[in-house]
């Protein structure tokens, strides 16, 4: 598949052939992986299976050897306490050698009819869609995607600024669609997610999230990732995926040593802001639209404290009842305030109308005064001329008599 030894995956050359590469990655989860792997191997359409073992506590090598039929390639990454899905799946994708690639989670089984129902053609990609879920478990099929290898790498794969659970799939789909690729939903009848808990057990998170139930912590991390991905520079071919030093241990076994590179570092302050934004967004999802607004700019974490109380309120629902009552009151007062505001706007419009009428009348009065003044000046001038002409005649006679006497 590859050269016997390579310095790093960046320098690895891969000869691409026609066919389908399935790729996945996991940390532990061996029991679920085994269930899923059995179903993958039933499909002759799958030419190879790339499996990245992201520093599992128990090696997955015995599991792979048990089911090895020549198609499974195991790539083992060492010394990684933190599970970073985007880096793990980008590594797995780079190890694929077929022109069509199918990213699948290690806890998802393939059911009969998948490849008959999903004929890949240029210009499209198939992806799971949580909107189509018929039960809660089917929402976890959202991250499955079947597409051309070239399309995946055209958008530079998964966004490695996303380093916790969730949003990696929607971020990828958005960038694929920005390349004018059509998204087609995967049929939920052709895949099955194996139910399990502790979805975020190997995820890194801020200390404030540790006390949350696993399902709720997953939601918060999704919202955090959504905010972070929108604040960071858009993920594209301008960024580089994490590099690994590769050591080939046979045709089907590769050791991967992560190289240190800091081009995907997220500023600490952005982590903190993303958590605050995520809590506000989550409160909105839970039906609180005004409480987050009240705590806008909150420095002592009041909203976060309310959120944690709300989530931890399992017995009796007292906190939930009180908070929803407060929210309802706020909505009531908000509606009253809106009504008053409308009345004030109505009064303001009336005052503007009266003011406009007053200005019109005022202008009329001014115009009338101007006309009167003009008329006054006009008649005064006329009367003055008449008086002057009347006085001028006897004045000339008088002056004539005075002149005769002097002679």
Q: Which of 218, 184, 188 is nearest to 201 (CA)?
A: 218
pLDDT at 306: 83
Cα of 324 vs its chain's centroid, Å: 27
Residue 149 domain-assigned? Answer: yes
Residue 226 domain-assigned? Answer: no
pLDDT at 107: 95
pLDDT beneath 50, residues of the chain: 1-5
Q: How far apart are CA 71 and CA 358, in angstroms?
A: 89
Residue 275 domain-assigned? Answer: no
pLDDT at 61: 93
In sequence order, the 6+-apart residues with CB closer than 8 A to the CB of 99 are 16, 17, 18, 19, 148, 149, 150
Residue 352 domain-assigned? Answer: no
What is the number of other CB atoms lying within 10 angstroms of the CB of residue 169?
22
Residue 177 domain-assigned? Answer: yes
Q: Show the domain range for 129.
A: 5-210+242-264
pLDDT at 147: 98
Q: How far apart are CA 331 and CA 325, in angstroms?
A: 10
Residue 182 domain-assigned? Answer: yes
pLDDT at 380: 61
pLDDT at 184: 97
Instruction: Provide the number of structural domains found in the chain.
Output: 1
pTM of the model: 0.76
pLDDT at 146: 98
What CATH number is associated with residue 166?
A: 3.90.550.10
pLDDT at 405: 67
Q: pLDDT of 153-162, one tens digit each?
A: 999 999 999 9
pLDDT at 6: 58
pLDDT at 353: 78
Residue 204 domain-assigned? Answer: yes
Contact 218, 165 (CB under 8 A): yes
Residue 220 domain-assigned? Answer: no
Burial class of residue 183 in the structure, from the number of CB atoms within 10 Å of its CB (0-12 exposed, 13-18 middle, 19+ buried): middle
pLDDT at 267: 87
Contact 75, 26 (CB under 8 A): no
């Amino acid at each position: 598949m590859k050269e016997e030894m390579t310095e790093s995956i960046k320098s690895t050359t891969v000869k691409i052939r026609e066919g389908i590469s399935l790729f996945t990655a996991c940390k532990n989860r061996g029991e679920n992986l085994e269930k899923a792997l059995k179903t993958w191997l039933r499909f002759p359409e799958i030419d190879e299976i790339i499996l990245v073992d992201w520093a599992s506590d128990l090696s997955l090598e015995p599991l792979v050897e048990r089911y090895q039929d020549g198609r499974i390639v195991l790539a083992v990454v060492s010394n990684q306490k933190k599970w970073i899905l985007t880096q793990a799946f980008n590594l797995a994708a780079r190890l694929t050698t077929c022109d069509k690639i199918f990213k699948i989670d290690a806890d998802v089984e393939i059911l009969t009819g998948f490849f008959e129902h999903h004929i890949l053609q240029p210009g499209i990609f198939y992806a799971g869609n949580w909107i189509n879920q018929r039960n809660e478990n089917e929402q976890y099929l959202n991250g499955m995607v079947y597409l051309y290898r070239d399309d995946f790498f055209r958008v530079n794969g998964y966004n490695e600024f996303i380093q916790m659970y969730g949003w990696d799939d929607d971020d990828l789909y958005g960038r694929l669609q920005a390349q004018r690729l059509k998204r087609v939903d995967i049929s939920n009848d052709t895949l099955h997610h194996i139910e399990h808990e502790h979805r975020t057990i190997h995820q890194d998170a801020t200390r404030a999230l540790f006390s949350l139930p696993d399902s709720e912590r997953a939601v918060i991390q999704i919202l955090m990732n959504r905010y972070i991905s929108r604040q960071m520079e858009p993920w594209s071919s301008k960024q580089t995926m994490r590099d690994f030093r590769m050591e080939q241990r046979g045709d089907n076994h590769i050791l991967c040593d992560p190289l240190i590179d800091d081009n995907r570092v997220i500023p600490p302050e952005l982590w903190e802001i993303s958590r605050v934004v995520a809590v506000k967004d989550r409160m909105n999802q839970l039906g609180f639209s005004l409480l987050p607004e009240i705590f806008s700019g909150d420095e002592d974490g009041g909203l976060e404290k309310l959120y944690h109380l709300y989530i931890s309120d399992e017995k009796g629902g007292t906190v939930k009842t009180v908070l929803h009552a407060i929210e309802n009151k706020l909505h009531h007062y908000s509606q009253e305030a809106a009504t008053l505001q409308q009345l004030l706007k109505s009064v303001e419009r009336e005052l503007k109308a009266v003011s406009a009428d007053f200005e019109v009348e005022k202008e009329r009065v001014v115009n009338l005064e101007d006309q009167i003044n003009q008329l006054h000046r006009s008649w005064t001038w006329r009367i003055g001329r008449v008086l002057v002409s009347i006085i001028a005649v006897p004045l000339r006679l008088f002056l004539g008599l005075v002149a005769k006497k002097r002679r």
